[in-house]
Amino acid sequence: MNIVCWRTVFFAILIFQPENGAARPQGSVPPAPPPASQTAADMWRGLAKNGRDLIEKGSALESQGRIEEALAIYQKAYTLYPNHTVTNAAVGSTYQKMGRTKEAIPYLERALSLDKSNFFIFANLVHARTALGDRVGAAQLAVECAGFFPNLVFTQGLLGDALYSVGKYDAAIAAYSKAQTLPGGDKDPSLNEDLAWCYVAKEDYARALSLLGNSARIGVTFQQNGLIITEVRKNGPADLAGIREGDQPLALNGENLSPADTASFVKKIQNTPVGQKVHVKLLRAGQLLEMDVSVGITPDSIIQHDVPAANAANLIAAPVAPAAVTSTTPAVIPAPVAAPDVKAPAITINRVDVKPATIRPGETFSIEVSYTATVGGQIARTFSIHDGTQTLFESQPQTVEAVVGRAGLITISKVPSASKPGKYAIRVHLVLGNAKAEGEAVLTITQK
């Protein structure tokens, strides 16, 4: 969600802030958090002085920006005390800060299994799973976290974010709304923004505008330290224009952007009058794309594409807005319909992405499939792995609900890993009624 809001994952070793600790719940209602001194003592219990000294030394190095040295110190502490929450959380959080998310998860999971009294470990693990595409797993963790700490604005916001990411918009609304009723929640403007985007996803534009106003934004979120889009709000201007997660904006209105120029991009959008278009040049999977995006979360935003013919297949044309819209009530907006001459269901795969595209033997990967469907219904999806001479693996069919009228996204997580170095073809098959589509991507396995 909003990367500058209070829910941003602070990849520092958050367990060194005992004032943010919370007691392990007992019974159906958890007790109030204990005094900071008690929480701190509980965190360090079982860790000898030499272990604590190592963790504090690593923390000091980390605060100086010497992250590699800090990790080495944390790993030494972990070797001495592998079954302690603090050592596992220290190593896992540092890997996460370095962008080595796969390596972070086992340590964070171990830390959480040892002690569930610190919601920041929950939060780091939720965001780590989200970063690797396991949004369902992240949502399950967020539900568990909110169960332990139901009366914290932080955990209800985290829950809302996770539920939104898996398309459970009504449940996300309930979580954000509860957060607003908790102490401090009524002073957090980001909650209104989150609620507004939930209503945009539900095409309830009138309610969204009442919360957010007709403000200058396009509905994207960037990664913490770079101009890479990590989230596109459903039914927002960027979504309707065809912008997708993983896209990297290169220029806005003809002005080039540096890879870390997030603040400049956001400022230019905020300075654009509502209803006016911005021209975005972006990079997607090595291909240059250009498009116009209308600023502001209005239901009658007019979206246009302006791309070379060779790239046109990579963008999904948005539904044309109705003429003379006089109300923001969703009921007056006609739903996108198939062209009159389309009599049978059709489905097209726009792209297949393997994330990460290069792994080491024994590692897993995820597959993201962008598709377009002309009608609703159940899509049966399968995928297979090939080494050029034979099929190594073929999945069982699974079904997902088709998204109609704009690009849909299917994420396949935790697929079986290949073991031998080389290049593998990942083929995805989609079936909607009598219509079929197939797409392919390449996975590279490197030496250990």
> How wide is the angle at C-alpha 405 spanned by C-alphas 403 and 411, nearest 5°?
30
Could you give the C-alpha distances from 76 to 57, 81, 230, 426, 447, in angstroms and in order? 11, 9, 34, 39, 27
Q: What are phi and psi of 245, to 5 degrees?
A: -60, 140
Same domain assignment for residues 374 and 400 = yes
Measured between alpha carbons, how far is 351 from 364 in angstroms, rounded to an integer?
A: 20
* Sequence-ordered list of residues with C-beta below 8 angstroms from that of 409, at least 6 positions apart, any chain: 244, 245, 368, 369, 370, 371, 403
In total, how many domains does the chain have?
Answer: 3
Q: Is residue 42 a part of any domain in this protein?
A: yes
Q: What confidence score (pLDDT) does residue 420 get? A: 79
DSSP state of 18: G
Name 366's bridge partners.
355
Same domain assignment for residues 87 and 186 = yes
Q: Is residue 43 a part of any domain in this protein?
A: yes
Same domain assignment for residues 224 and 197 = no
Same domain assignment for residues 220 and 194 = no
Q: Which residue is listed with tokens 């592998």? A: 82
Q: What confidence score (pLDDT) does residue 298 get? A: 54
Q: Is residue 55 a part of any domain in this protein?
A: yes
Could you give the C-alpha distances from 363 to 135, 366, 414, 443, 448, in angstroms and in order? 19, 11, 10, 12, 10
Q: What confidence score (pLDDT) does residue 80 get? A: 93
Name 371's bridge partners.
349, 408
Q: What confidence score (pLDDT) does residue 336 get? A: 35
pLDDT by residue (tens digit) across 249-290?
A: 999 999 998 877 788 888 888 888 888 889 999 988 888 999
Same domain assignment for residues 439 and 396 = yes
Q: What confidence score (pLDDT) does residue 42 get? A: 57
Give the CATH number, domain containing residue 261. 2.30.42.10
- For residue 306, the enclosing domain spans 216-317+327-332
Measured between alpha carbons, how far is 1 from 231 in angstroms, rounded to an integer?
A: 7
The domain boundary, picked from 308, 332, 356, lies at 332
Dihedral Cα 239, 240, 241, 245, nearest 10 deg: 20
Same domain assignment for residues 144 and 240 = no
Q: What confidence score (pLDDT) does residue 375 get? A: 78
Judging by DSSP bridges, how do beta strands 366-373 and 347-355 pair with one another?
A: antiparallel
Q: Is residue 9 a part of any domain in this protein?
A: no
Same domain assignment for residues 220 and 185 = no
Q: What confidence score (pLDDT) does residue 395 get? A: 79
For residue 410, the number of C-alpha atoms closer than 13 Å in the C-beta half-sphere is 26
Helix axes 85-97, 119-131, angle to 10 degrees: 40
Q: What confidence score (pLDDT) does residue 314 get? A: 32
The domain boundary, picked from 297, 332, 367, lies at 332
Q: Is residue 160 a part of any domain in this protein?
A: yes
Q: Is residue 393 a part of any domain in this protein?
A: yes
In three-state secondary structure terms, 344 is: coil
Q: What confidence score (pLDDT) does residue 74 get? A: 94
Q: Is residue 342 a part of any domain in this protein?
A: no
Cβ 382 vs Cβ 352: under 8 Å:
no
Could you give the C-alpha distances from 81 to 15, 52, 55, 106, 271, in angstroms and in order? 16, 10, 11, 15, 53
Both tokens assigned to 82: 């592998």
Measured between alpha carbons, how far is 16 from 33 in angstroms, rounded to an integer?
A: 16
Q: What confidence score (pLDDT) does residue 230 get? A: 85
* Residues in the chain, pLDDT under 50: 1-41, 300-343
Please name the helix (run of DSSP H) or strand (run of DSSP E) that holds residue 37, with its range, or none: helix 36-44
Q: What confidence score (pLDDT) does residue 415 get? A: 63
Give the CATH number, domain containing residue 362. 2.60.40.10
Same domain assignment for residues 234 and 112 = no
Measured between alpha carbons, how far is 309 from 14 in angstroms, rounded to an integer?
A: 50
Same domain assignment for residues 53 and 135 = yes
- Please tell me whether the overall predicted TM-score, pTM, comes out greater than 0.85 for this model: no
Give the CATH number, domain containing residue 178. 1.25.40.10
Q: Which residue is listed with tokens 């070797």? A: 79
